Amino acid sequence: MAIWSRSQNTQEWRNGYLKFTREVASNPDPSKPYVTIDEHHLESLRSILTTRGLVFPRTDGTPAELVHDGSLWDEHQIQHLSMVWHRLDPWPDTCRGILELNRLFWTATLSNGNMALLKDMCSHAKMEFSHVLSAELFKSYKPSPKVYLGAAEKMGLKPEECVMVAAHLDDLKAAKSNGFRTIYVERPLEERRPELKGEGFVDVWVGADEDGFISAAEKLGVQVLKGRRRSGSAPGMVETA
């Protein structure tokens, strides 16, 4: 009997992503082809759905990715679901905050998501970063130093001239160890390593009761006009790792 729990399966999918990226970052194998996050998400989703009995691979010699007629989803639907990460909505302050930051600084993504994923996400969410950078460019994943140092080099900057803004402390800890300055934007239910809060590698802390990226811009010296400052407080999602 198939058992479906949306929250359980989504968390397992997310946990698989974290395990995959950390293994690639810590144990790179040059003999293996680089696997993008889109490719991993699709493979991982198929595995979870098959294990749960929600997708049945054919056994008559047809490729396993072509699912049986009795499956809950067909191949097109599985591929569409695997691309949900391209369609994430931002936190309410994100778009406004990026525009404010753009007034004084270059802004860039630095995510484990591949380039196509990040470009689609920015387009969908109307996040106007001045540059789009991905771990894919450096054939590794955060927290590998190759990603942070490669991003600084791509921007023509020294690491100490870069500021990493993130909602995950482990990302900031790695950035700091590679010479970046750090800003932590606290988000409800986002922190996966709360035990890192007291380690002192965060240079600027934006609390959950503040206004996210808009407050980060203010703390970096951007003069945000009062009439355009507030963004609302309803939760959303932003890809930071």
The secondary structure of 60-106 as a DSSP string is SSS-TTSB-TTSSS-HHHHHHHHTGGGGPPPPTTHHHHHHHHHTTS-
Which residue range(s) make up the domain with 56?
6-82
* Entry pTM: 0.86
What is the number of domains present in the chain? Answer: 2
Say yes or no: 170 and 115 in one domain.
Answer: yes
Helix axes 6-26, 37-51, angle to 10 degrees: 130
Say yes or no: 188 and 125 in one domain.
Answer: yes
Q: Which two tokens stand for residue 214?
A: 């808009």
Q: Which two tokens stand for residue 2?
A: 């198939």
Residue tagged 């950390």 (tokens): 22
Instruction: Decide if 239 is inside a domain.
Output: no
Instruction: Decide if 20 is inside a domain.
Output: yes
* pLDDT of the chain, 241 residues: tens digit per residue: 445 566 777 889 999 999 999 999 999 999 999 999 999 999 999 999 888 878 776 565 555 555 555 667 778 899 999 999 999 999 999 999 999 999 999 999 999 999 999 999 999 999 999 999 999 999 999 999 999 999 999 999 999 999 999 999 999 999 999 999 999 999 999 999 999 999 999 999 999 999 999 999 999 999 998 765 544 433 332 334 3
Say yes or no: 69 and 133 in one domain.
Answer: no
Reading across the β-sheet that carries 163-166, which strands appear in turn? 163-166, 181-185, 204-206
Whether residue 235 has a cis bond before it, omega within 30° of 0: no
